[in-house]
Amino acid sequence: MDATPPAGDATPAALVAAPAQPDDAPALRAVIAAAFAQYEGQLDPPSGALNESDVSLRDKIRAGGAWLCRHEGMVVGCAFVAPRDDHLYLGRLAVLPAWRGRGVGDLLLARVERQALELGLPTVQLAVRLALPRLRAWYTARGYTLLEERAHPGYALPTFAQLVKRLEAP
């Protein structure tokens, strides 16, 4: 199936989010590879996203879970989660480049936030590289605030921002 979006906007009704299953790993790996390819050679330390394998993604799905977003059966986005004691951690949200700005990320983020509430967890946390200010601004526009800046192991200066959103039951 062609990864190019249809002419016009894909409406939220045309997008379907569902829990990912271990057998979805190859499709999720393809989305992650396409979504993170633009950062290859630009992030220090390099993103681990491009090192994901079907096995590692299956393990993440089994350990914490993941969401996928489909349009007419084609996977166009995904998000991985891991429940922690006091929050739901959003590990990777990836959207095919041609599908950005069409509601895929918003739909996945809404599903993650709803899952946190269903689990009785009051917040969602995630990490964003400091080198990606537009991505941080995207999350900030959706209610995420800075919890702290941290450094990857072996780095003296901060390399990423830990963001948090306090959720309210509908």
- pLDDT 10s digits, 57-107: 999 999 999 999 999 999 999 999 999 999 999 999 999 999 999 999 999
Q: Specify the CATH number for the domain of residue 87.
A: 3.40.630.30
Is 128 among the domain residues? no
Average the pLDDT over 45-58 and give the result.
95
| CA angle, 124 then 152 then 147, to 5° | 35
The predicted structure's pLDDT at residue 8 = 60
pLDDT of residue 134: 94
163 part of a folded domain:
no
Task: Supply the pTM of this predicted model.
Answer: 0.92
The per-residue pLDDT for 9 is: 57
CB burial of 1-15 (b: ≥16 within 10 Å; e: otherwise) equals eeeebeeeebeeeeb
Query: What is the structure's pLDDT at 12?
Result: 59
Question: 85 in a domain, yes or no?
Answer: yes
> How many structural domains are present in the chain?
1
Mean pLDDT of 120-146: 97
Distance CA(129)–CA(25), nearest Å, equals 24
144 assigned to some structural domain: no
Range of the domain at 51: 13-122
